[in-house]
């Protein structure tokens, strides 16, 4: 069931998403070659707690850390580790979720570590642009499929592949609510978008195949051919006007 939020509830969600956005920006500013993904996770954890919020990934379905950190071919759900050292030229996806006063925040971004390959540069550019193509369709009267189709068409027209096993989602008092927001589909299909809906739009893009596999840790999802992956995510509220991007560092 899709839960419609009041304007007062959206104001509460804005605060949680603002903290999530600030934590993600801090991660991007902190990331450097030679640090472990565990160190980066701790920076994010400490910041979220300092704001009076909870890192809602911690313990979610047994997840052991405060954010997901995925490197190169890792698409999502990478487990931070003291043994995983970030290197020059890596691309690193950080996915940050927060809980503040009962409301969830959620955003993700793939960061460049120093100078990256042209292939990585282009993949990140296209994936982030696909996110904005999706957000453009997040207006009242459209359908979820309009978002999905916009993302898919842009990604595939640039020669990349959208992942199908994992999708965007509604968000509110729970991290994952209805509706699902796939990165593939047909325009004009799916639930209608109405003011008060709050959703996470999150293109997950692979370099050579739509297929993924899950590593032995039962969490980390990688590009099936071991090539690069990228992931960008914003939390958006449907309004009577243009989409309200909730995961900004300030409003």
250 in any annotated domain: no
- What CA dihedral angle connects 111, 115, 120 and 121, to 10 degrees? 80
Helices (H), 51-173: 118-136, 144-157
Number of domain units in the chain: 1
92 in any annotated domain: yes
193 in any annotated domain: yes
CATH of the domain at 57: 3.90.230.10
Q: Any residues with CB less than 8 A from the CB of 230 and at least 6 apart, and which?
A: 91, 93, 110, 123, 124, 127, 128, 203, 204, 205
Residue 185: is its pLDDT beyond 90? yes
21 in any annotated domain: yes
For residues 73 and 226, the answer to whether their CB atoms sit within 8 Å is yes
For residues 116 and 110, the answer to whether their CB atoms sit within 8 Å is no
1 in any annotated domain: no
φ and ψ of 17, to 5 deg: -70, -30
67 in any annotated domain: yes
161 in any annotated domain: yes
Question: The domain containing residue 33 runs over which residues?
Answer: 7-245
Per-residue pLDDT, 251: 78
pLDDT digits (tens, 9 = 90+) for 124-167: 999 999 999 999 999 999 999 999 999 999 999 999 999 999 99
160 in any annotated domain: yes
Per-residue pLDDT, 7: 96
């Amino acid at each position: 069931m899709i839960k419609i939020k009041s304007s007062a509830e959206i104001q509460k969600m804005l605060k949680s998403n603002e903290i999530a956005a600030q934590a993600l920006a801090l991660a991007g500013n902190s990331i450097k070659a030679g640090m472990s993904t565990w160190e980066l996770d701790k920076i994010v954890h400490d910041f979220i707690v300092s704001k009076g919020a909870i890192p809602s990934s911690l313990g979610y379905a047994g997840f052991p850390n405060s954010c997901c950190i995925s490197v190169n071919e890792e698409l999502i759900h990478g487990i931070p580790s003291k043994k995983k050292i970030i290197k020059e030229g890596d691309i690193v996806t950080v996915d940050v979720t927060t809980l503040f006063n009962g409301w969830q925040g959620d955003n993700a971004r793939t960061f460049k570590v120093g100078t990256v390959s042209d292939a990585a540069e282009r993949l990140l550019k296209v994936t982030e642009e696909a996110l904005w193509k999706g957000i453009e369709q997040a207006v009242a009267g459209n359908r979820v499929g309009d978002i999905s189709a916009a993302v898919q068409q842009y990604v595939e027209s640039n020669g990349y592949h959208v992942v199908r096993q994992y999708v965007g989602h509604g968000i509110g008092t729970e991290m994952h609510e209805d509706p699902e927001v796939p990165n593939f589909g047909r325009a004009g299909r799916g639930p209608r978008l109405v003011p008060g809906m709050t959703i996470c739009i999150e293109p997950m893009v692979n370099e050579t195949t739509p297929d993924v596999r899950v590593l032995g840790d039962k969490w980390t999802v990688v590009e099936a051919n071991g090539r690069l992956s990228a992931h960008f995510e914003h939390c958006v509220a449907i309004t009577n006007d243009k989409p309200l991007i909730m995961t900004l560092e300030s409003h």
